[in-house]
Amino acid sequence: MKRFFLFLILAGLHLSAYNQVIKGIVFDKPSKDTLSFAMVYINGTFVGTYTDAHGRFALDISENAGMPLTVSAMGYYSLTITDYSPDRPLFVFLSPKVVELQEVVISAKSHSARRITNMKVFRREFLGTTSNALDCEIVNERDIIFNYDSDRDTLKAYALKPILINNKALGYKITYFLDKFEYYRSAKTFIFKGSIVFNEDLTGGIAEREAFERKRRYAYLGSRMHFFRALWKNDLEAQGFNARNWAFDNLEYDRIVINIDGRKYFRFSDNIGICYFSKTPESKVVFLKERVYFDEKGYYDPSGISWEGKMATQRIADWLPYEYGIR
């Protein structure tokens, strides 16, 4: 009997070591009132929860330890938190999206034709232009607002509510919290920032799910996620990748990865060209930081890298959750 109770105690200690539950409260920053129904999640995954009527939350991040925590709410900027611990509660203060609304004409009949044109641009740049993008539906397009100010070169889009996307190609229901979208017409360049939560579409039959898996695999191969997973394993060449400098010299693992206290960082003194089953680089990594953290799931610090070329064309319609291929 004593051995049985000892086993239960040891099992409990083992489980507590691996169950990392983050708890906290979410507030409106100006008023300090608590925010109910704010979403707390790991960006790019299935993992998330909502705050209760008193702004409180609890989220198990055991499978995603080390990844940033994101908090979003309707009408507020998202906040990403990297310094958190199960040992202490989090007090999160969200800032409302007020400034932008003063710059936007929300509704006007004279803008209806222009809105149709702007929505086409938004879908193209936000979802992408692949076959998967053609099978994506933005469910709540009416919640997307465009500016109609004097700057005719820059198209800005806003959304107080999360953008809901039905990816019929890959079988995901997507919730996207948009913080920034700007498209520069003359340069034909754009920038968008936000956070994403995935949900599996389980409504289809076996044949449809098999089709989802085929398309997911095709979207994964040669993607940024695939690259970082291969880099983590020091398996670039076997996975079809090569990293090259400006002189097209192949860069070995030790030249582009450093390990600091068990955390891996991607770095190089210059830009890096990425080949995927090609003789010349199809994509380019432009470093914005001296070194960029990444992990075995394919997550990397997005603020540390700018992408050019083929990998830069992979938009929302071709994104996969970090759980893909791991479960």
The two tokens of residue 6 are: 């000892």
- Tens digits of residue pLDDT in 151-174: 678 889 999 999 999 999 999 999
- Tens digits of residue pLDDT in 31-40: 999 999 999 9
In this prediction, residue 326 has a pLDDT band, given cuts at 50, 70 and 90, of low
Calculate ∠ Cα 297-303-306, nearest 5°: 90
Check if the beta carbon of residue 47 is closer than 8 Å to that of residue 321: no
In this prediction, residue 228 has a pLDDT band, given cuts at 50, 70 and 90, of very high
Average model confidence (pLDDT) for the chain?
89
How far, in Å, are 225, 248, 273, 274, 309 from residue 279 at the CA level? 21, 9, 11, 10, 15
Q: Residue 9 above 70 pLDDT?
A: no
Q: Residue 5 above 70 pLDDT?
A: no
Q: What is the pLDDT of residue 12?
A: 44
Q: What is the pLDDT of residue 106?
A: 46
Check if the beta carbon of residue 231 is closer than 8 Å to that of residue 255: no
CA distance 315 to 121: 13
CA distance 227 to 241: 7
Percent of the chain with pLDDT over 90: 74
In this prediction, residue 15 has a pLDDT band, given cuts at 50, 70 and 90, of very low
Closest Cα partner for 198 from 317, 98, 38, 22?
Answer: 317
Architecture of domain 2-94: Sandwich (2.60)
DSSP strands (E only) in 132-266: 136-138, 144-146, 154-159, 163-167, 172-184, 189-200, 241-244, 257-260, 263-266
Percent of the chain with pLDDT over 70: 88
Q: What is the pTM of this model?
A: 0.87
